[in-house]
Amino acid sequence: MRDEHAFATRPIDEMYRWFADEAEPTSPIWGTLCRWIAETPEVCERLDTLPGRRRQPNLFLASIRYLNGPTAPGDEFIAWVGENWDAIEELILSRSTQTNEPGRCAVLAPVLASLPQPIALLEIGPSAGLGLFPDKYRYRYTGDVRQEVTPPTAQPDAPELVCEVTGRPPGDPSLLVVRARAGLDLNPLNPGDPDDVRWLRALVWPGEDARERRLVSALQLAGSNPPRLIKADVTERLHLLLALAPAGTTPVIMHSAALAYLPRAERDDVVQQIRDSGMHWLSFEGPTVVTSVREQLTDDDAWASRPNFVVALDDVPLGRAAAHGSWVSWY
């Protein structure tokens, strides 16, 4: 079947120009480099030899970081890409964009805390599983809610996640207790494996230093007590994950920045399986990803100029938030 995804079909120069705009606000280094790549045929021609979705800019850029390559435009960059192309290509073909962002827990924790405790948290597409520890991070909320929260089982020196809040959160994370946690991923990463850790760090954009520090401390936390992660395709094996909720818990199926990777028909099918399970369903994705959530959003115009994710529980949108959890606006 022909791959129609934009990463597979869009001209390289156009794609890197688009990506430059995406990266610029938080990573001017990537913004500048990507804009220059778009104007540099020597680099574009090489990138155009990559197959299908492997042409996605994030994979090439993470490979540069992983291999400690130069990040400034110019002849040195062109020469480095030429000399290291075999290693770059091998990485791009063997690795995927599995960015794992613990900051999202600042948005998810108040929703989980609104349910009967304790929780069994079952995540689709967990990457290294950093989203499976909402009860182990500390939270500092600012804005309408000024609150420093340490859930009952979090250590006093646990990684702190900061989030600016508008509106009233659905629950209080100081009540959150996660009794069981498990995930199912096409390619689970191991938070204790140095090579996986290096790749996850490489996926963070240069200049996002606070984000990288947060990632490293969350990886240490998860690496000291790794969650159970099943290697499987959710479109075929969701039932393996659903079977892992122990008696006496409230099972919650959760996914963040994961369903977007499935083609629409398979995504709708997974959503139907989640509904049929009768378990709670916590979704944190871009506004158009889950069809039924998308149809309930009546405030798109107000949010058109601010990139956002939608947090929804049991198919009901609860709020909009930054994709990495740095702010949330509850309905």
Ligand X SMILES: C[S@@+](CC[C@H](N)C(=O)[O-])C[C@H]1O[C@@H](n2cnc3c(N)ncnc32)[C@H](O)[C@@H]1O
Residues near ligand X, by CB under 6 A: 96-101, 104, 125-127, 131, 184-187, 233-235, 256-258, 261-262
Least distance (Å) between residue 13 CB and ligand X: 25
Question: DSSP 3-state assignment of 327?
Answer: strand
Q: Which residues pair with 319 in a beta bridge?
A: 311, 330
Least distance (Å) between residue 298 CB and ligand X: 26
Contact 218, 159 (CB under 8 A): yes
Residue nearest to ligand X (CB): 125
Convert 140-205 into a string of H (helix), E (strand) and C (coil): EEEECCCEEECCCCCCCCCCEEEEEEECCCCCCHHHCCEEEEEEEECCCCCCCCHHHHHHHHHHCC
Spell 25-41 as b/e; 16+ CB within 10 A means b. eebebbbbbbbbbbebe
Contact 171, 111 (CB under 8 A): yes
Least distance (Å) between residue 281 CB and ligand X: 15
Least distance (Å) between residue 104 CB and ligand X: 5
In eight-state DSSP terms, residue 138 is: E
CB closer to ligand X, 126 vs 317: 126
Least distance (Å) between residue 127 CB and ligand X: 4
CB closer to ligand X, 55 vs 104: 104
Contact 179, 151 (CB under 8 A): no
Least distance (Å) between residue 237 CB and ligand X: 8
CB closer to ligand X, 37 vs 121: 121
CB closer to ligand X, 187 vs 296: 187
CB closer to ligand X, 202 vs 262: 262
CB closer to ligand X, 102 vs 251: 102
Residues ≥6 apart with Cβ < 8 Å to 151: 109, 134, 135, 136, 137, 138, 173, 174, 175, 176, 177
Least distance (Å) between residue 39 CB and ligand X: 29
CB closer to ligand X, 82 vs 307: 307
CB closer to ligand X, 46 vs 228: 228
Least distance (Å) between residue 297 CB and ligand X: 20
Q: Which structure tokens are listed for 106? A: 């600042």
Q: Which structure tokens are listed for 215? A: 């990632």
- Nearest-angstrom CA–CA distance, 191 and 208: 20
- Nearest-angstrom CA–CA distance, 136 and 158: 7
- Nearest-angstrom CA–CA distance, 148 and 140: 4
